[in-house]
Amino acid sequence: MNTKLRNILENITYTFTANILTMLISIIMTLILPKFLGVTDYSYYQLYIFFISYVGFFHFGWIDGIYLKIGGMEYNDLEKSNYVTQFWMLNLLEIIIAAIISIFALFTIKNIDKSFVLISTSVCGVITILRTYLLFILQSTNRIKEYAKYTRVDRFIYFALVIVFLFLGFKNYKIILYIDIFSKLVALVLCANKMKDIVFGKLNISKNTLLEIFENISIGIKLMLANIASTLIIGVVRFGIQKNWDIETFGKISLTLNISNLLMTFINAVAVIMFPLLRREEESNLPKIYVILRNTLMIFLYMMLIFYYPIKLILSTWLPQYADSLRYMALLFPICIYESKMSMLINTYLKSFRKEKSMLIINTISLILSLILTISSVFILNNLTLAILSIVFLLGFRCVIGELVLTKIMNILIYKDIILETVLTAIFIISSWFINNMFCSIIYTCFYLIYVFIKRKDIKRTILLFKKILRK
């Protein structure tokens, strides 16, 4: 086995193994918190999680620019004083923004709980952005072991403290928010201690530093806007649900979304290492690698849908107060397929080709469509089912458009695969929604086996190609 491939497999194995624990924690927390918090408290916790997903907007592409600029470089080759200065200037910017948001929340939001959630978000935002700054440097310079370690450490702390406090009888969402902020702060301190040369080195505030900051922002702004637009595709629908229905409905739907997205823990673990590796790879090899990854990923992801009904049955028994909303898993479960493909393959490849503009256009078009569908389904038709169905449609639409753009760049034909996968997704949704028993899983399994049979030649070619690479 060649050295490059061995290193790739080692990084994948490490991150994959490490994230097994993270995923187990995510599963446990997804099941425990709604069980013990109560619907209203859990819903305010979900509102906090919803807000947190948008704090990345407040670095204005600064971190993304660094990520793209140094992707594929060696950590030791970085000019450390430059990044020390940027770290502390970013810190100052985020503190100012957090102060403005907190003042706004205190004096303009009448609902005390929503005000508290927004203030907590602003505090957590400072910590999150600074940690992201350090983690992105580790990721882009291929220091994957350190990246994985400091990505998951806060989840371990969070998990342990939540279990302790719930055991002691503290079942208020505010306690959970305090724990989340504290665990992220500890992770930031540990990461900063490891990267002392990036955090505690000599400051170098100069004209060149300021020019570099503006350059990083100009490079990263497209990627940041693309990422924000990406999160808003679902965010707009969730915001519509939050405005048109009560906080409890928002919380229940958020739980269903969380369950549907649990698989992303694994996928993101692999996606993390892809960008720096692809940036170091010869462009002529990228289409071949894409075919291998795509075929493997799609077979695996569509197999996971087989377990939908058993999972739903278990969850309905464990969380009877959420049974009515868990029915929507039939509509939302396939989002893991589209989100996984976007995260691991399409976005990573587009960034490697430096097609941030294409990413922005794709996500913006999807966002506009999201606004149209949300206004129609939520505010005109007042139909929660249509609003939820629009989520999987929007993510599927974005995924198809993104892949068509990407494969055109690489000169790969995947029309047959897209059609097959769309049909299989539709069969899953229809059978799961209208047949509310184990028979829906049997029907889907039969069609999945037909899909595998149709894809048998592609699977065989993928295996042979992978074996060929291993022999090099």
More confident residue, 5 or 322: 322
Calculate mean pLDDT across residues 42-54: 86
- Of the listed ranges 33-42, 100-109, 182-191, the least confidently predicted one is 33-42
> Residue 358: is its pLDDT beyond 80?
yes
Q: What pTM was estimated for this model as a whole?
A: 0.74
> Could you tell me the residue range of the domain that residue 442 belongs to?
225-472
Band (pLDDT 50/70/90 cuts) for residue 111 is confident
Could you tell me which of 261, 289, 260 has the C-alpha nearest to residue 273? 289
- Of the listed ranges 42-51, 109-118, 283-292, 430-439, the least confidently predicted one is 283-292
Band (pLDDT 50/70/90 cuts) for residue 404 is very high
Calculate mean pLDDT across residues 201-205: 75
pLDDT in tens, 309-322: 888 888 888 888 87
Could you tell me which of 90, 80, 77 has the C-alpha nearest to residue 202? 80
Domain boundary among 153, 171, 205: 205
pLDDT in tens, 129-166: 999 889 888 877 777 778 777 877 888 888 889 888 88
pLDDT at 269: 60
Average pLDDT of every residue of the chain: 82
pLDDT at 401: 93
Q: Are residues 286 and 158 part of one domain?
A: no
Calculate mean pLDDT across residues 71-99: 83
- Of the listed ranges 40-49, 215-224, 375-384, 421-430, the least confidently predicted one is 215-224
pLDDT at 130: 92
Q: Are residues 413 and 311 part of one domain?
A: yes
Concatenated DSSP letters for 319-367? -GGGHHHHTTHHHHTTHHHHHHHIIIIIHHHHHHTT-HHHHHHHHHHHH
Inside any domain, residue 232? yes
- Of the listed ranges 126-130, 171-175, 396-400, the least confidently predicted one is 171-175
Could you tell me which of 224, 153, 228 has the C-alpha nearest to residue 184? 153
Q: Are residues 190 and 324 part of one domain?
A: no
Q: Are residues 38 and 10 part of one domain?
A: yes
Q: Are residues 244 and 125 part of one domain?
A: no
More confident residue, 457 or 142: 457
Inside any domain, residue 217? no
Band (pLDDT 50/70/90 cuts) for residue 279 is low
Q: Are residues 146 and 235 part of one domain?
A: no
Q: Are residues 184 and 102 part of one domain?
A: yes
**Number of structural domains found in the chain:** 2
Domain boundary among 157, 173, 205: 205
In angstroms, what CA-CA distances link 239 with 218, 235, 236, 251, 370? 29, 6, 5, 12, 11
Band (pLDDT 50/70/90 cuts) for residue 181 is very high
pLDDT at 8: 54
Compute the distance between CA of residue 122 and CA of residue 99 in angstroms, rounded to an integer: 8
Compute the distance between CA of residue 404 and CA of residue 417 in angstroms, rounded to an integer: 11
Inside any domain, residue 216? no
pLDDT at 447: 93
**44 CB-near residues (< 8 Å, 6+ apart):** 113, 114, 117, 173, 247, 251
pLDDT in tens, 218-250: 877 777 788 788 888 888 888 888 888 877 888
pLDDT at 1: 45
